[in-house]
Structure 1
């Protein structure tokens, strides 16, 4: 998978808006001003940071070497997934959907401080 495929998929979500975070050299994708995906390069490789439940996050990191804690975000919820690694496109799309769901679920709880 490449970055443009991923961005297209994210931007097809209802209400999705993208902005550039210049400090992190990242493209952030939000719905209702809640971050659900951040596309950036890590160690020169295309990657996306996605939100998941702590249980799923732990499982992903155990099973896939191409999933690691996100540098700038809450590490118990946010993982960085390499787009050019071992995960299939379908798995990455599933994780994008799961991340969007997490963002929507936490939106009403006053818990949108970026982590």
Structure 2
């Protein structure tokens, strides 16, 4: 997956806003000021960090060598996925959607976030 395709998909979410975190050389994508994706390079490879449940994070890391604990973020809730690895684009898109839902549920519990 190309970084530009991932950014376009993230920015297609209603209310999505893009911020540059210069210290981390990362592009953060937020909805309602809640981070749900961070696009950056890790070890020279294009990557995205996404929020998941700790159970899903463990499962992804066990099943995919291209998924690791989140860079710069809470490692039990955030995983970094390499965009040039073995994950299919459809899997990455699904995890972006799940990350958005997880992030909003965590910061705004009890609110219907169907967008």
Contact in 1 for aligned 2:49/2:71 (Cα 8 Å): no
2:86 maps to 1:83? no
> Could you say which residue in structure 1 is the equivalent of 2:112?
none
Secondary structure of the equivalent of 1:37? strand
Deviation at 1:70, TM superposition (A): 1.2
Aligned residues, how many?
109
Unaligned 5+ runs, structure 2: 110-115
> Could you say which residue in structure 1 is the equivalent of 2:54?
54
> Could you say which residue in structure 1 is the equivalent of 2:38?
38
Secondary structure of the equivalent of 1:74? coil
After TM superposition, what 4+ stretches of structure 1 lie above 4 angstroms from structure 2?
A: none
TM-score (norm 2): 0.93
Aligned-residue RMSD, C-alpha: 0.7
Unaligned 5+ runs, structure 1: 110-115
